[in-house]
Amino acid sequence: METGSTSQEAQARLARRPRPSPPALPCAVQLQVAAVSAGIDVINRRRGGTVSVNRCLYSVADRLLRVRADPRPDSSSGVRSADFTVDASRGLWARVFSPAASSSPAPPLPLPLVVYFHGGGFALFSAAQCYFDRLCRRLCRSVGAVVVSVEYRLAPEHPYPAAYDDATDTLRYIDANGGVPGLDDGVAVDLSSCFLAGESAGGNIIHHVANRWSAATSNTVRLAGLLSVQPYFGGEERTESELRLDGVAPIVNLRRSDFWWKAFLPAGASRDHPAAHVTDENAELAEAFPPSLVVVGGFDLLQDWQRRYADVLRRKGKQVQVVEFPEGIHAFYLFPQLAASAQVIEDMKAFVESNRAASSWAQESSGR
C-alpha cells in the first residue's frame, strides 16, 4: 500500500498534467447519468462517522423505476419473465428471464444459465428496476441463456456478508430445486453450464460467491465462468486512475465509493478488508474457480483495481480474459444507446459459448 507521502507525490504529479475531458455521451445518456448521480448524492447520508441511505426518498425513485415481471413474451425480444421467492423471511427473491417455449415436438435443447447480480455499491438498486430488467432481457435474447436476476439485501441495513450469503443461497435454492422455477415446459436449462454475471458491486459479489461455490464438490450447479463487468474492488491506496478521473468520470467518484465501502464493510474495517481488496496474499482461490471475463472501461476510475484483480487471477493460475473499452464510463453497458454496450454483450456471448460444459454444448451443436 502507498504511504501518505507517496500518495501525495502521485497527486502532485497528476496535478501538473492536464485534466482529461469528460467523455462524449449522447444527450439522452447524459441526462440519465446526471439524474442518477444527483439522486445518489441526495439519498446517501453521512452523519459524523456513520453512513445511511434515506430509504424514504429511495423508495420514491424505486417506485418510478420498477417494472413488473411479465409472463407474456415481449414484442421486441420474445423474452418472458417471472418472479420466484428464495426466502420470504429475508425478502430474498429472483426474476427469471427466458425465451418463449418452442412449439416443436422435439425435446428442447438445454440453455446455459446466467445468474446475474446488479450493481449499486451494495446499497442501491433492485432486480426489478427498469435498467436491470432491460439488460437481463438483452442477455437472455443475445446470449441465448436463461437469466436469473437476484434481489439481494442492501447495505448499510444488511452489511457484509449479507449480499454474499444471499447470492450463495440462491444458487443453493436452484441446486436443490433441480432447475429454475418459473420456466415454461418447453424451456430447458443446463445446470452444468452456469455463469455468474454482475457489474460493479455485482462483479465483486460473483467473485466471492464463485470461490465459495467452487470449493464444494457435491453441487449439481456447475460454475462454467464469470462475466465480471467493471467489478467493484478497492483499497486504502489511491490509484492513478482514481486520482486522475475523480471529478471527471461520471457516476462513481471517490466520495461515493468511500461511502459505499463504509456502508458495506464490517464496522471499523478499512478498505483493505479482503471483501474489497483482493490481493495475492488474501485470495485463496478454490482449485475449481472458473474462467473469468473482466470488462474494463477507460472512463471508470475503478479501472486500476479491475486490472489488478485480473492480474491476481492470472498469478493464481486462473483463466482470465480482459476486454477494454477506452471510452466506457462506469455502467456503460446498461445504456443501449452506446455502441460499446452492444459489443460487450457480444463479448459475453462469445465467452459463454467457449466455456459451456463440453458435453451439453456438443449435444446442442450436433442438433443444429
| Whole-number pLDDT of residue 20 | 87
Amino acid, res. 223:
L
Q: In the Cβ-directed half-sphere of 16, how many Cα atoms lie within 13 Å?
A: 5
Would you call 330 a catalytic residue per the annotation? yes
- Answer yes or no: is pLDDT of 172 > 70: yes
pLDDT in tens, 154-169: 999 999 999 999 999 9
| Whole-number pLDDT of residue 2 | 46
Integer CA distances (angstroms), 83 to 134, 167, 240, 264, in order: 15, 16, 42, 26
pLDDT in tens, 196-210: 999 999 999 999 999
Q: Which residue has the higher pLDDT, 78 or 103?
A: 78
Give the span between the Cα atoms of 214 and 256, in whole angstroms. Answer: 32
50-64, 99-113, 331-345 — which is least confidently predicted?
99-113
The backbone region for 283, taken as left when phi is positive above 0, alpha when psi lies in -120 to 50, beta otherwise, is beta
Q: Which of the residues 149, 192, 193, 200 is marked catalytic?
A: 200
Are 210 and 223 in contact, with CB atoms under 8 Å apart?
yes
Give the span between the Cα atoms of 38 and 52, in whole angstroms. Answer: 16
- Answer yes or no: is pLDDT of 363 > 60: no
Which residue, 199, 188, 35, is CA-closest to 106?
188
* pLDDT class of 100 with cuts at 50, 70, 90: confident
Mean pLDDT of 263-288: 95
Sheet with strand 223-229: strands edge to edge: 79-87, 92-99, 146-151, 111-117, 189-199, 223-229, 292-299, 320-329
Which residue, 148, 135, 139, is CA-closest to 175?
148
67: its cell numbers: 417494472
- Answer yes or no: is pLDDT of 3 > 60: no
Residue with cell 430445486: 177
Q: Which of the residues 133, 175, 190, 300 is marked catalytic?
A: 300
Q: Which of the residues 207, 330, 347, 360 is marked catalytic?
A: 330
Write down the mean pLDDT value for the chain.
Answer: 92
User: How many Cβ atoms are within 10 Å of 46's Cβ, its own excluded?
Assistant: 12
Would you call 158 a catalytic residue per the annotation? no
| Whole-number pLDDT of residue 7 | 58
Amino acid, res. 243:
L
Integer CA distances (angstroms), 100 to 131, 141, 185, 193, 318, in order: 22, 10, 10, 20, 36
Would you call 133 a catalytic residue per the annotation? no
Percent of the chain residues past pLDDT 90, beyond the cut: 83
337: its cell numbers: 444507446
